[in-house]
Structure 1
Amino acid sequence: MRHFAFAFALLALGACGERQTSSNVAGCERVAMHEVTWSNADAPDTITTRSEGPSCAQAAVMFVARNADGDPLWAFASTYFDMTAGGIPPEGAPAVTEAQMDEFLAGWANVSATTSNTLPEWLEGVATLTESATTFAYDTPFDRETYEMLRARNLPMFCYAAAVEATQCLVIDPASNAPAMIVAYGP
């Protein structure tokens, strides 16, 4: 009886380790990478953009910033169609080629470092940052005092596309030493 129980336990453990996997040979798994100096002036971070889906038109896309040690700092996910045209693809939308996906991913990954002092000033006495801006609608998770403190500190920052006509800008929060979205903007 003891041998039967031991054999059953081994079979059960073996079954736990089995996984169903499938290969999506006809899918759209593509990757682009770009280095940017952002979180550490002495060691560049890596921006990786990737796609995955049954076709490139149906691909989910991901933007990941990692430090020089490979630790993830920020991740953002969307769909190819939402990032390039908005919404979901209409019935009969043309196929998206691997070359088109590669071009999109390379452009999305190609962020440049800048500094927080390049952001618009949030004028005193104005209720929102958007009311201070002249070109785009701006939104920030911070109150005016915190936003202006971060902006004035001239922090390393990069901005990336978060939708067809929307951008998010990230800084390393000096209080937590963690990435934070300082502002999002668009039309």
Structure 2
Amino acid sequence: KVQHLSEKRLCIETLKKREDSLEKQKAELINQKGSLLKISVYAKRKMTEEEDNFTREVTEFNNEYGLTSNRDILIKKKVKTEINYLENEAALLKNEMESMEHKNVQLNALQLQKTELKQHLFTLQSKLKDLEKAIRDAERTTKNLEAEKVEVSEKPQTDPECLRLKKELENCKDDDWESICETLRTEIEILQM
């Protein structure tokens, strides 16, 4: 039971270390998520600015040289490139968020397991206390019984009634007294019990 209890304690300490490690990872991932979101917002704003600048420059260029037919093609190409870039960024962010959610589920499962192990440890400690009390009671009872046994075994040598009956038995050596001796032996045996 004590070994089992030690194993459970070791398991709880291991789970605690694992939980702490996962908490740190979770905090790091949350920080990374925040950084990625900031980068994404900044990138979107920058892209919008660049797109506006690009569109303005292309418009000015086309107006200046009369290339309006090429303008639509260039804008569509630029927009398509930007859409692909943003879709890739969104996919990366989505993967990061799913990974964080998965780690959070693992952390919750470990916390639940830790709670269950703590409850089990509490139950085992309670049982251990009960067993230790039962052992102390049994040791006390054994000690009392041994003292009583010694007292009972010494009774024939110290009890006046036993001594008197022994003396009578020694005096009764005749064959006529044999039945009386047998009776006295029986009484002595009864007293010795």
TM-score tier (shorter): under 0.3
Structure with max Cα Rg = 2
TM-score normalised according to structure 2 size: 0.18
TM-score normalised according to structure 1 size: 0.18
